[in-house]
Amino acid sequence: MRKLYLLIVLLLVCSIEILAANKPNVTAITEVFGDGQKLTGVILEYPTAINGKKLTKETFEVTDRTILNVYTNDVSEKAKNSKNGKYVIIELDPKDKNSGIFTTAQRGKFNEKKVSLIQKNKIYTTKNTVIKPSKEILTNSASRDLIVEDFKQFEFKDPKTGLTLGYNLYIPKNYDKNKKYPLVLFMHDAGPTDLKETVVALIQGNGAIVFASPEEQAKHEAFVLAPKYNKKIVDDDGNIDPLLDTTLNLLDYLKNEYSIDTDRLYTTGQSMGGMMSIVMNFRQPDLFAASYLVACQWDPNVVAPMAKNKIWITVSTGDEKAFPGMNAITDTLKKNGAKVAYGSWKGTYSSEEFTKAVKEMEKENANVNYSTLEKGTVIPKDVVETSKGGEHIYTWTIAYNIERVRDWLFSQSKSKK
């Protein structure tokens, strides 16, 4: 009788565990790529540890999405290697047509961070209990924006211009006020100016977050600053809004607030942001250690003061404004003493091919490096253009993924002779 009682209790305990485990907490994962923010995964949190060796891609089905990998972890994070734990990670294909939250192809429109899935096959816990398949649809109650969540949002009220500027700031995770850190200023294009959310500066492309990724920070620990502009700050007619001065004043403020290496300030931007970088360079040629200018242009008649600056330029030869515009600028810089190295690349290069191409240009030891992306190799093959401008917009989906250019940027310092 006692044995029967114990057996019943054991069965009840297992049953309770199975029922509880059938209701995991569901969190959607988003990541930012060159063409914007996408939903790329799901984290399922169970009340007990799961045996990862018995999970397969067929264990789950995610509505209208392609599963790339399924594994377990003992922390709520994506990982390269599976560890038994109460977290099941489902990685989804970012190339899925409906993966986009906010992307280049749908600028100005946000999609919901929602995911739906079902458990198709058995799940085994590390205690050898079984979570049975279920037709119940699971949806996420939360979401995580990888890397984006590591930035903080602030407002700067400029006492000099009287203007207010929202900005995103990445502070190194192991920040030590007794050390000096470089700072990267990223300025976005004019596309997101109609949107008020400060975080848009981080998700419209990867020009900011690429510098804050764990891999990049492991090599180049740095602050990353990404202001959010709600109007055009500069335009093709040479107009300059006072918020450009506010941005420079924000830099001064941050230099006083944190331990920032003033010999290693870097600026970069795409389109409007690149134009802002140009203006800052010829107005204050001694401010930045180096600049990365992407798909931009300016009046070549005023850029002479930046002829000695360290600059890397990337444009598409199919960009009807930026390509001739940067040709004119580099000609002016050369006439005023700049040494220019040129490189002609394909936008379809692999990371290894880009690294090799950058190294070839670096051999010339020029202070201005001008790399062009061949027309017809910039716009992804699966993109159907609905309007002109693809050669312009898709330049920066490539430019910020070139690791060796980022390495070049961080290697520059004003203290170097």
pLDDT in tens, 287-303: 999 999 999 999 999 99
10 Å Cβ neighbour count for 213?
A: 18
Q: Model confidence at 387, in pLDDT bands (50, 70, 90)?
A: low
Q: In angstroms, rounded to a whole number, what is the distance separating the alpha carbons of residues 320 and 388?
A: 10
The answer to whether 55 and 88 have CB atoms below 8 angstroms apart is: yes
Examine the pLDDT at 204 and tell me if it is beyond 90.
Answer: yes
The answer to whether 182 and 208 have CB atoms below 8 angstroms apart is: no
Q: Where are the domains of the chain?
A: 21-145, 148-411
| 50-82: pLDDT as tens digits | 999 999 999 999 999 999 999 999 999 999 899
DSSP 351-414: HHHHHHHHHHHHTT--SEEEEEEPTTSSS-TT---SSS-HHHHTHHHHHTT-HHHHHHHHH--T
Cα 259 to chain centroid distance, Å, stands at: 24
Query: Beta strand 134-139 with 36-50: parallel, antiparallel or unpaired?
Result: unpaired
Q: In angstroms, rounded to a whole number, what is the distance separating the alpha carbons of residues 334 and 332?
A: 5
Nearest Cα neighbor of 243 from 327, 149, 150, 166 is 166
Examine the pLDDT at 16 and tell me if it is beyond 70.
Answer: no
Classify 203 as helix, strand or coil.
helix
Compute the average pLDDT of residues 163-190.
97
Classify 210 as helix, strand or coil.
helix
Q: Model confidence at 190, in pLDDT bands (50, 70, 90)?
A: very high
Total-model pTM:
0.92
| 6-15: pLDDT as tens digits | 444 444 444 4
Examine the pLDDT at 5 and tell me if it is beyond 80.
Answer: no
For the chain, percent of residues with pLDDT exceeding 90: 88
Q: Model confidence at 194, in pLDDT bands (50, 70, 90)?
A: confident
Q: In angstroms, rounded to a whole number, what is the distance separating the alpha carbons of residues 179 and 261?
A: 9
Q: In angstroms, rounded to a whole number, what is the distance separating the alpha carbons of residues 358 and 342?
A: 10
Amino acid at 271: S
Label residues 103-114 b or e (16+ Cβ within 10 Å = b): bbbebeeeeebe
**H-run or E-run covering 170:** strand 164-170
Q: What is the CA radius of gyration of the chain?
A: 25
Give me the CATH topology for the region 21-145: Immunoglobulin-like (2.60.40)
Nearby residues of 38 by Cβ (< 8 Å), 6 or more positions away: 30, 31, 32, 94, 99, 100, 101, 103
**Cα separations (Å) of 87 from 31, 60, 76, 84, 388?**
19, 14, 6, 8, 45
φ, ψ for residue 71 (rounded to 5)?
Answer: -155, 170
CATH superfamily, with its number, for domain 148-411? Alpha/Beta hydrolase fold, catalytic domain (3.40.50.1820)
Burial of 74 (0-12, 13-18, 19+ CB in 10 A): middle
